[in-house]
Amino acid sequence: MTTFDRTWWKEAVVYQVYPRSFNDSDGDGLGDIPGIIEKVDYLDDLGVDCLWLNPVYDSPGVDNGYDIADYRSILDEFGTMDDWETLRDELHKRDIKLIMDLVVNHTSDEHTWFLNSQSSGDSDFREYYWWREGRDPEETDLDPEDYDTPDDVNEVPPNDWQSFFGGPAWSYDEDSGEWYLHIFDERMPDLNWETEAVRDEVFEMMEWWFDKGIDGFRMDVINLISKPDGLPNSDDPEAIVRGAGQFVNGPRVHDYLEELHDRVLDEEAMTVGEMAELSVEEARQYTGRDGDGMSMVFTFDHMRLDMTDAGRWSYREWSPQELKETMTHWQEGLADEGWNSLFLNNHDEPRQVSRFGDDEYYRRESAKMLATLLHTLRGTPYIYQGEELGMTNYPFDSLEEVRDVDTIKNVRAARKSGRIDDADVMDLVRYRTRDNARTPMQWNDSTHAGFTESEATPWMPVNPNKDDINAKDARDDPESIWHYYRDLISLRKERDVLVYGDYDLRLEDHENLWVYTRTLEEDSLLVVLNFAGEETRFDPPSDLRGEAADLLISNYESDIVSVETTVLRPWEARVYDLH
């Protein structure tokens, strides 16, 4: 008797492609869809089941495609709709699903909805966005100097909210004399989900993509779509992003998502909601039994461990113990309902081996150890392009090399407010910038790592370590990180326990070891991970000591016949198959 319902997206391993940086087929220095098509066999060989494509829609590219000007067309530089259809078909032929990015908290300021809403103050389109009158500075605590308005306008915005990209969340529009809301860049105005026509437009657009044969959506910042009535001031004026407390998990977000579910999603559709600032209880409301019907969420508690209360543009040491506690909290919290997404990096985060492993002395071992973690926890593993090669952060020398709007604006704001010292800026940028993830994929050791032709200029510099870290070499070397990922992916297909098994933490208080079992009916695995670049003694829990076992997978050679006390090598990962 089985105690679980099979669901494709629980069993899947998802591979994330950031199109600009994946593969450039036409030598303009920017990756494109035909470039992805050339690599579909590569993805198939790796064994992944689903591709998450970061935005490829028409866009002015203020935030590399997260500013969409037309949801139903493909950005010229990336190719055509025919190319996209070929990609879809090539993936589907190989049984690889395709999920698209859904960015509907905001649009680009070049979207016709915004242009219409801007030019005709009284049209229906005005209500598609958040247009409001400003306030007299005298009646507020806000300083007009902090806002960009013409000299003859002495106003501050409707409330004190700030943007995630630094600076105010409102911009003044000279033509209409009103302000509009943008939680991200000023060129990314927030849609007003209160307006029924906005919901209709979004739902129709989603249906249009489903009719084109996609398998689901990754939903960008989806827990920000509901803003509270009256757009009140922040409840915490000292917050890093003032106002976030008002618009994160806003009052009607569940109504909107339930409506979306009922109107658009069928049983098979996969949805993964990107949701910062989320508790386990809230995650259940989105994904649980009586929730809004989302498949799973991306949460970020584990991405905060190396920050102080001052947020992203700060640094503190993280400890393996904290990582274990945080992720265990989510494993346990979504054990009976809801589902986890497993990731340690993506296009918004630095490279995982540089951040959580050791990219200098034990790159190979630590990259494999982290992969073992992600593929043996309960949830759906996500691989961000290049992770399977153990790609590392980029050695940025100066801010001029940084392209990312978030880094540039936040560093400016943090410097202005004195939150970062000038002396620390480059260390922090090197450690934290999203551009670490956005350097070109390293296919081989040629001039631009095979990302583009040798005479082209890639939009981001190639990491100089491409001679040692590249797909060609990795595929030729049976001991490589790439082969290890492939083995992990194929194990998940063989063993239901890796997908559906219960997670039980053991040796809870150990500082450097993360030890857990996965159990499904009679099938049981023991996972032992050494989160240290030094030898660490492993004393098995007494009930498991002496148990007969094989080594299912490991990043080191060992002869195992049972679970015994042993000394684990730096970053060693072992998965014992218990009999």
Nearest to ligand NOJ of 364, 409 (CB atom)? 409
Beta strands in 451-509 (DSSP E): 502-506
d(CA 579, CA 570): 27
Query: 379 to each of 13, 55, 174, 294, 561, how far by Cα in Å?
Result: 10, 24, 49, 14, 29
Task: Quote the crossing angle between the two packed helices 320-333 and 280-287, to the nearest 10°.
Answer: 40
Sign of CA dihedral 426, 429, 432, 436: negative
Nearest to ligand NOJ of 303, 526 (CB atom)? 303
What count of other Cβ atoms lies within 10 Å of the Cβ of residue 453?
Answer: 16
DSSP 8-state secondary structure symbol assigned to residue 54:
P
- What is the nearest approach in angstroms of ligand NOJ to the Cβ of residue 288? 23
Hey, what are 366's tokens? 């630590």
Place of tokens 């630094």: 166
d(CA 77, CA 178): 35
- What is the nearest approach in angstroms of ligand NOJ to the Cβ of residue 283? 17
- What is the nearest approach in angstroms of ligand NOJ to the Cβ of residue 304? 15
For residues 21-44, b (16+ Cβ closer than 10 Å) or e, as one string?
bbbbbeeebbbbbbbbbebbebbe
- What is the nearest approach in angstroms of ligand NOJ to the Cβ of residue 180? 16
- Widest pairwise Cα distance in the chain: 81
Hey, what are 245's tokens? 């407390």
Nearest to ligand NOJ of 107, 463 (CB atom)? 107
Nearest to ligand NOJ of 32, 274 (CB atom)? 274
- What is the nearest approach in angstroms of ligand NOJ to the Cβ of residue 533? 31
Q: In this structure, are strands 14-17 and 50-53 parallel, antiparallel, or unpaired?
A: parallel
Catalytically annotated residues: 220, 274
Site residues (CB under 6 A) for ligand NOJ?
63, 66, 103, 184, 220-221, 274, 347-348, 406
Nearest to ligand NOJ of 49, 404 (CB atom)? 404
Strand, helix or coil for residue 12? coil
Nearest to ligand NOJ of 111, 347 (CB atom)? 347
d(CA 439, CA 458): 9
d(CA 350, CA 357): 12
- What is the nearest approach in angstroms of ligand NOJ to the Cβ of residue 241? 13
